[in-house]
Amino acid sequence: MIPATAALEAGWCTFQVSDGLYGLDVARVHEVLRPQPLTRVPLAPPAVAGLLNLRGQIVPAVDLRTLFGLDPLASPGGLVVVRSGDGLAALVVDAIGDVRRPEGARVPLEHGDGDPFRTCTVPLADRLLTVLDVDRLLELAFDPAGREPLARSRPAVRRLPGD
């Protein structure tokens, strides 16, 4: 069974990032929210947009635009809260979509190992839906190596004469 086949019956929760239509297995989605205030986390990896207070539960939020190497938006379109092995995580997206299912006998097209986030592409009537691997996405977002760009962007400390 291909990874996306299990999600064929349930479908995918969809959203937009830039011009792309993306989806997650609907069974992994906890809830979908309008934009919420996030609390920044000092020294967090660049893709971690902050922390979300979800009815008393603290949930890390990952900015998919940053993870995909795109410029940030002034105002995100929403949050997709997903279940992960460590609890919940929120994905900051440009726009919330709906639940989509494959149409007719269309079969997902598998991606090779070179694609770090995607499991498959599903042809829909009007466009292509790229299904993301939630676990791999979060693993890359929280990778401590992601902190390196922050360290390099800090200004150098200047020494005063006599120090």
Domain assignment present for 27: yes
Helix (H, G, I), strand (E, B) or coil at 43: coil
Would you say residue 145 lies in a domain? yes
Q: Which domain holds residue 60?
A: 7-150
161 located within any domain: no
111: helix, coil or strand? coil
In a domain? residue 156: no
pTM above 0.75, yes or no: yes
- Number of domains the chain is built from: 1
Please give the pLDDT value at position 42. 93
What CATH number did the domain enclosing 105 receive? 2.40.50.180
Cβ-based burial of 152 (10 A; exposed 0-12, middle 13-18, buried ≥19): exposed
For residue range 4-39, what is the model confidence (pLDDT) as tens digits?
445 456 789 999 999 999 999 999 999 999 999 999
Q: Flag whether 81 is in a domain.
A: yes
C-alpha to C-alpha distance for 80 and 70, rounded to whole angstroms: 18
pLDDT of residue 15: 97
Among 90, 78, 80, smallest CA distance to 138 is for 90
Banded model confidence at residue 82, pLDDT cuts 50, 70, 90: very high
pLDDT of 153 reads 32
* Sign (positive or negative) of CA dihedral 45, 33, 122, 72: negative
Torsion sign (Cα): 91, 119, 9, 106: positive
Whether 15 is in a domain gets the answer yes
- 24 in a structural domain: yes
- What is the signed CA dihedral for 84, 27, 65, 107, rounded to 10 degrees? 130
